[in-house]
Amino acid sequence: MGRATARRVVTRVRAGVATAVRPDTVVGEEPLEIRVGGRALAVTMRTPGDDMDLALGFLLGEGLIGSAADVTSIRYCVGRDDEVGRDGAVDADGRPTYNVLDVALAPGVAPPEVDLARNFYTTSSCGLCGKASIDAVRLRSRFTVADDPLRLDAATVTGLPDALRAAQRLFATTGGLHAAALAGADGVLRAAREDVGRHNAVDKVIGAAARDGLVPLAGQVLVVSGRASFELVQKALMAGVPMLVAVSAPSTLAVDLAEEAGMTLAGFVRGDSMNLYTGAHRVTLA
pLDDT in tens, 83-103: 433 456 666 555 666 899 999
Question: What's the pLDDT score for residue 84?
Answer: 37
Q: What is the value of pTM for the model shown?
A: 0.86
Encoded amino acid at 270, one letter: R
CA separation, residue 138 to residues 79, 177, 183, 218, 253 (Å): 37, 27, 25, 21, 10
Question: What's the pLDDT score for residue 135?
Answer: 54
Question: What's the pLDDT score for residue 109?
Answer: 93
Identify the segments of the chain with pLDDT beneath 70: 1-2, 79-97, 114-140, 171-172, 174
Question: What's the pLDDT score for residue 3?
Answer: 80
Residues 6+ apart with CB under 8 A from 245: 157, 160, 161, 221, 222, 223, 224, 266, 269, 274
How many helices (H) and strands (E) the chain has is answered by 7, 18
Active site includes 126? Answer: yes
Question: What's the pLDDT score for residue 171?
Answer: 63
Question: What's the pLDDT score for residue 18?
Answer: 87
Q: Which residue among 1, 117, 126, 136 is the active-site one?
A: 126
CA pair distance 89, 83, nearest whole angstrom: 16
Question: What's the pLDDT score for residue 169?
Answer: 79
CA pair distance 286, 275, nearest whole angstrom: 15
CA pair distance 15, 28, nearest whole angstrom: 29
